[in-house]
Amino acid sequence: MPELSASLYNSPFLKACRREPTPVTPIWLMRQAGRYMPEYRAIRSKVGFLELCKTPELATQVTVEAAEILGVDAAILFADILLILEPLGFDLEFTKGEGPAIHNPIRAAADVDRVNVVENLDDLSYVFEALRQIRRALPSDLPLIGFAGAPFTLACYAIEGGGSRNYEKAKTFMHTDQGAWDSLMSRLVDATVMYLNAQAEAGAQVLQIFDSWVGQLSPTDYRRYVLPHMRRLFQSLTPGVPTIHFGTDTGSLLELQRDAGGDVIGLDFRVELNHAWKRLGDQVAVQGNLDPTILFAPPAEIKQHAERILREANGQPGHIFNLGHGILPGTPVDHVRGLIDLVHNHSFSRDLEPI
């Protein structure tokens, strides 16, 4: 891992990841480079989504542009969690209006044998080149976040063949043959560890693991089918690189996620931040957790909800302000910028009384 400059190490975002006091509450937003931005839409009108992901110059442009326009405390690599499925042997396509489609999904235990054991990441070299270019283009004191999908969420996509409402194919596979499930998860963990460590080497200061679908599991199933694999993943990452463990609809799984690993636990908007942090304990930082739909509301309403979250954080070191999920298409850009200014200007230590 490249050595950090003093300005990067002491940035508000990295200090919050380490649960150190910060002069303001740091904020970045999931999908901060996305369809709500005219600059992004202009690029997407000329290139497809996968082409954008696979062209380092364009990925650099949308990543850096979003960070500059918004004034956030961290940039995040423009990519997609499913890119790693290609070197694993899956035929991935992003269809217009339909989202991702995997044309050779896993449907039986024997199909796991055709999942590649990834020995190198040459097929993802464009990701690492983008990271190097982004790091050079960003201000020297602005951290860069790399990321990957968590093995459970990747497994669901690989088995379902795309998005799902009930995850019946993935869950049936999981419950029918635990040996095949563990074998698939093991291959996904190995590839993801290699991928994330290479991102850190290429220029990412923080790594976020997105477990977007894990909230569909009961605590019993998480403990049995996911926790051992996530624990091995986190334990295998490069020491000293802060990690963020994020999932959606995970109010029943927070303690298990903490036990699995992560310096920062991402909270979605379905939990109250102060209660969730109390459950997690003070040995982890937290990230979150404004409902993204609030950004469509009038500024006064946005202010009310943002200040509530700041009061819930209560000035405790280790709070990173974010949404409970990604910015939605159609969100007014000036509302996003207003939120960021509000968080920077109204951190608890100066303005707010605790709840």
- Tell me if residue 258 is catalytic: no
Average pLDDT in the chain? 95
pLDDT tens digits, one per residue of 136-165: 999 999 999 999 999 999 999 999 999 888
Q: What is the DSSP string of 310-326?
A: HHHHTT-TTEEB-BSSP
pLDDT tens digits, one per residue of 60-86: 999 999 999 999 999 999 999 999 999
- State how far Cα 282 lies from the chain centre: 21
Residue 75 is given by DSSP the state E
pLDDT tens digits, one per residue of 241-254: 999 999 999 999 99
**Residue 179, pLDDT above cutoff 90:** yes
At 348 the pLDDT is: 55
Query: Domain map of the chain by residue range?
Result: 6-351
- Tell me if residue 135 is catalytic: no
Residues 113-118 have a mean pLDDT of: 95
Tell me what percent of the residues of the chain surpass a pLDDT of 90: 94
Local structure of 346: helix, strand or coil: coil
At 98 the pLDDT is: 65
- Dihedral pair phi/psi, residue 92, rounded to 5°: -105, 135
C-alpha span between 186 and 193 (Å, rounded):
11
CATH of 6-351, one of 3.30.230.10, 1.10.10.10, 3.40.50.261, 3.20.20.210: 3.20.20.210
**Residue 349, pLDDT above cutoff 60:** no
- Tell me if residue 132 is catalytic: no
Supply the Cα-derived Rg of the chain in whole angstroms: 19
Which residues make Cβ contacts (< 8 Å) with residue 11, sequence separation at least 6? 26, 73, 74, 141, 142, 143
**Residue 331, pLDDT above cutoff 70:** yes
Which residues make Cβ contacts (< 8 Å) with residue 139, sequence separation at least 6? none
For residue 286, the one-letter residue type is: V
At 165 the pLDDT is: 87
C-alpha span between 107 and 99 (Å, rounded):
20
From 73, 82, 80, select the one nearest 287 (Cα to Cα). 73
Residue of 31, 195, 263, 268 with catalytic role: 31
**Residue 181, pLDDT above cutoff 90:** yes
Residue of 18, 80, 111, 182 with catalytic role: 80
Which residues make Cβ contacts (< 8 Å) with residue 127, sequence separation at least 6? 77, 79, 83, 195, 199, 202
3 pLDDT band, cuts 50/70/90, is confident
pTM, rounded to two decimals: 0.96
**Residue 34, pLDDT above cutoff 50:** yes
Q: Which residues sit opposite 149 in a β-bridge? A: 210
- Tell me if residue 80 is catalytic: yes
Residue of 9, 18, 44, 177 with catalytic role: 44
Residue of 35, 223, 258, 337 with catalytic role: 35
- Tell me if residue 337 is catalytic: no
C-alpha span between 262 and 239 (Å, rounded):
12
C-alpha span between 151 and 191 (Å, rounded):
9
Residue of 19, 40, 73, 157 with catalytic role: 157
300 pLDDT band, cuts 50/70/90, is very high
At 314 the pLDDT is: 92
